Copies of this chain bind each other. A is one copy, B any other.
């Protein structure tokens, strides 16, 4: 199995190094993988003048999975949009057909106090957000800035979803729900948007093939409220690209420790790209203080979803839990009475706990 490793920018290289360290440890134990590195984001721009260099996309296409760090940095903020780091991200998602973005919001009992919500509201929180990732207003045409008949300028974008786009991500959603609590909440804005009305129609149709899953529909504004009011009501949330962008970030922050949250973006054959839910944190880059656990847990997701290697996925996840139980913490999740360690040491702690 071949893994394309794309560290990216900011803390990307240091957190990815910990995840590859963990994968190396499993390899010396018999896991058959090979890893190759390439540039993406600002690092791609610096190396090849392009946030997604051709060689990187080619490597990703030839690999079975991609392990990504994060992209973005202050020095790229004033580049023209096509050269900006996040364009590398958007293009690799589209280029690899990664339409199914899985974003768990899981509260680790040891870290419960990090949440800004009251313990009784979030204890045991375990939501899986499934965000469609290659459609919607992110990629819809036409878009741009045009001049209206009255001479005024207007910015515009197009939201759209076709039947097949909705159908395939809905199937993924129901299949995930089958393996979890068998509850799927589809989030849209069907009282206002035609795209959403159509989304709801197709999701309802697909639901007939999964009679054991309890399907509900919720408007996005209400979902944003309910995540704050009573987040444990949710099992799997299925939604489109833009609503998923907003809700998955909101949901991950409910845990208070976004440094712990991995993500997976899958294509139709479960080939995937795996990355932490958090960003590139340029302010703490290179200081060996970043939390590598979200990236390490992303590697675990890779073993589970793309390599179908549940045993090694669980082994990594248990090692992370053990390191936490032993009291090891990076600065972002540190509380009195625990042992504060750096990024590299945390990687070592997980390897030791394997």
Known contacts A86-B191, A225-B250, A250-B228, A197 near B81 by CB under 8 Å: yes
**Bound-state Cα–Cα, A245 to B140, Å:** 22
B193 and A157 form a contact (CB under 8 A): yes
- Interface residue ranges of A241-290 to B (CB < 8 Å): 242-243, 245-250, 252-254, 256, 258
A154 sits at the interface (CB 8 A): yes
Q: Does A1 contact B (CB under 8 A)?
A: no
Is residue A108 within 8 Å, beta carbon to beta carbon, of the partner chain?
Answer: no
Q: Which of B156, B164, B196 contacts A159 (CB 8 A)?
A: B156
Taking the closest CB of chain B, its distance from the CB of A80, in whole angstroms, is: 11
Whether A194 touches B225, Cβ cut-off 8 Å, given contacts A152-B162, A159-B156, A159-B159, is no
A109-139 contacts to B, CB under 8 A, are: 116-118, 121, 137-138
**Looking across the interface, which residue of chain B has its beta carbon closest to that of A148?**
B162
Measured in the bound complex, the distance between the Cα atoms of B193 and A242 in whole Å is: 10
| Residue A155 interfacial (CB < 8 Å) | yes
Q: Which of A58-66, A216-224, A293-301, A304-312 contacts B (4 or more CB under 8 A)?
A: A216-224
A221 touches B198 (CB 8 A): no
Minimum Cβ distance to chain B for residue A206 (Å): 14
Instruction: Say yes or no: A195 contacts B156, CB within 8 Å.
Output: yes
- Are the CB atoms of B191 and A84 closer together than 8 Å? yes
A338 at the interface (CB under 8 A from B): no
The reply on A47 being an interface residue by CB < 8 A is no
A161 in the interface, Cβ–Cβ < 8 Å?
A: yes
A165 to chain B, nearest CB (A): 8
- Asked if A32 lies at the interface with its beta carbon under 8 angstroms from chain B, I say no
**Centre residue among A84, A195, A222 by max chain B CB count within 10 A:** A195
Q: How far is the CA of A189 from the CA of B138 in the complex (A)?
A: 10
Query: Given A116-B229, A229-B116: A164 and B145 within 8 A (CB)?
Result: no
Name the interface residues of A219-241: CB closer than 8 Å to any CB of B: 220-222, 224-225, 227-230
Q: Is the CB of B221 within 8 A of A144?
A: no
A282–B158 Cα distance when bound, in Å, is 35
**For A189, what are the chain B residues with a Cβ–Cβ distance below 8 Å?**
242, 245
**Most chain B CB inside 10 Å of its own CB: which residue of A90, A148, A153, A157:** A157
Chain B: which residue is nearest A122 at the CB level? Answer: B116
Contact call A153/B162, Cβ cutoff below 8 A:
yes
Residue A143 interfacial (CB < 8 Å): yes
Contact A198 B154 (CB under 8 A): yes
- Given B121, B153, B158, B192, which contacts A138 in the complex, CB threshold below 8 Å? B192
User: Is A2 an interface position by the 8 A CB rule?
Assistant: no
Given contacts A118-B117, A194-B144, A246-B224, contact A152 B163 (CB under 8 A): yes
Among all A-B residue pairs, the 10 with the closest Cβ atoms: A155-B198, A156-B160, A224-B250, A155-B195, A154-B162, A221-B249, A225-B253, A228-B253, A116-B121, A157-B159
A residues adjacent to B (C-beta < 8 A):
81, 84, 86, 90, 116-118, 121, 137-138, 140, 143-145, 148, 152-164, 189, 191-199, 220-222, 224-225, 227-230, 242-243, 245-250, 252-254, 256, 258
